[in-house]
Structure 1
Amino acid sequence: MTGALAAPPEITGAEFAAISALLYQRTGIRLVPGKETLVMGRLGRRLRQLGLDGYGDYVRLLHQPDGQELGQAIDLLTTNETSFFREPQHFDYLREAIVPAHPPGHILRLWSAASSSGEEAYTAAMVLLERPPAGSWEIVGTDVSTRIVAGARRGLYPIEAAGRIPPELLRRYWLKGRDEYAGLMAAGATLRERVRFRYANLLDDLRDLGRFDVILLRNVMIYFDLPTKAALIQRLQEMLYPGGHLIVSLSESLNGIPSRLRMVRPSIYRLPAGPHG
C-alpha cells in the first residue's frame, strides 16, 4: 500500500462513529465527539504497523469475525489510569470496618473489577496481609484489556509508583529491580500468590467468577451511560454475598440507579444481609 510509513490521514466523522460504536458495543465505553484526536493518537501507530492507508481500512478490519483486531483496538483505546492506595479512605474502610466484622470460617473474597495494571488489587492484598480477616481470603483482579492483564500478572512497576506505598509495606512486599530491571520494582511472591488476574468484560455474564464480599468498581462507571450503569449494577449486586460491599470512586454514586444496595457512606454501598440479600 502506498503511504504505509506516512502518518494516517485525519479520521472522518463516519469512521470515528464506527469505531466508537464498536467500542461501546463491546465494552460499554462511549467515545463522544471531540475525542477524535485521542483515537488518532492511540490508533495511528497501529495503522502504520499494519500498513493501512486510513481508518476506513481499519474499520473493515475491526469487523473481521475472529475479533482479534477489535481486541487490539480495545487494548489501545481503554484508559488505564490508577495508582497504589488511590482514594485511601476505601482501604481504611476495608481494614477498619469490613475485616473486623467478617465471620470466621468464611473465605473473604474481594474483586478488583476493571483492575487496570493491578495497583488496586495489590494494594488490597497489602491491606489484608497486614490486617487479615478471621480465616482465609483471596483477591481476583479483572480487566477488559488482555495486554493490561498480562502486565498486572508480572507485577512490575516503575520505582516512582512506590511514592504512595508506606515505607514499611514497600520493604516487606516489594523487590527493587537490578541490572536489566533497574528503575523498576516487582511484587514479591507473598503478594503475587494472593492475587489472581484474568481477562473479563464487565458487559458479559461473569457469574463464573463466583460471589464476593467486596467488589471494587472505582473510576469505571464514569465511562458508561446510564442504561449501561444500571444493567451493570443489577448484575454485580447478584454477585455479592448478603451483607457484601460495593465500593465505587469518591466521584461516583448510584443515584438514579435502581438496586437493592444501600449507601453506608458516600461511595460505599452494602447489600442487605436479610433473606432477600
Structure 2
Amino acid sequence: MSSQPSDYQRLDARAVKATVDRLTGRIRARFPERNLGEVSASLSGAIDELLLRPQARWYGWARIASRVVVFLLIAVLFIALAVLIGQAADDRQPESVWEWVQIVESVINDIVFVSIAVFFLWQLPLRWERSHDLASLHRLRSLAHVIDMHQLTKDPDRLRADFRKTPQTVELGMTAAELSNYLDYCSELLSLVSKTAALFAEHTQDNTVLQTVDSIEDLTTGMGREIWQKIALLPGRAPREIDAEHRVPGGYGA
C-alpha cells in the first residue's frame, strides 16, 4: 500500500524511536562497559513515555467537555438576555432611568463574567497539554546536558605523543579510533534529542512550546559543533571503526 505524500513531510515518533534503539544497540556492542548506552536507552524511554502521548485520549475528552460547558454557558447567557428583553417589552417595563441603568449593568456584568469563564474553559485543556509538553522538553534538555557531560572529559589532546600527564589527569582508556566512534555516538545522540524535541512541533502551534523546541535544537547544535571540533583534532584524524554486522542500510555505521 502506497504511503500518502504527507507521510514524508512529518516526523514519526515510532521511526525516531527505532533509530534511537538501533543506536543504543550499536553503542552497547562497541562500548559495553560504558554508560552512554544507558543514556541512549533513556532517550528511547522518553519517547515511549512522553511522545507516544498516553494522555492524548484524556486531552481529547477534556477538550470536548470544556467545549460543551462553554456552549451551555453561552446558551444560558442568551436565555437570560432574552428574558430581560422580554420583561422590558411587556407591561412591566421600568418606569425610571435608574431602573434601566440597573438592567444594563446586570447584562454587562453577565456578559463579562461569562466571557471570562468561556476564555478560561476554552484554554484549560491547552494549558494542561502545554504543561505536559514543557515537562517533556525539560527532560530532553536534561538528557542533552547528560550527553554533553559524557564527552566533556574526552579530550583528544591526551592522545598526542607530546601530551604530559599530571596527577589530576583522568585516564582516557581509549584509542584514537575508539574515541572517534565514542564522540560520533554522542553527536548522533544529540541529533536524535533534537529530532525528538521537534516531534512536539508536529502537533502544536503553542508559541511557548515552539520556542522551547527551538532552544533545544540550538543547544544540541552547539554541543554537536564542539564534538566535531574534537573529532577534527584527533591524531591522524582516526577513522571510525565500522562493523559490517551493525551497519544500517542507507544510514550510519556502528
Structure ranking higher in strand proportion: 1
- Please report the TM-score for the alignment, with normalisation by the length of structure 1: 0.22
Q: Which has the higher contact order (CA 8 A, sep 6+)?
A: 2
Structure ranking higher in helix proportion: 2
- Please report the TM-score for the alignment, with normalisation by the length of structure 2: 0.23
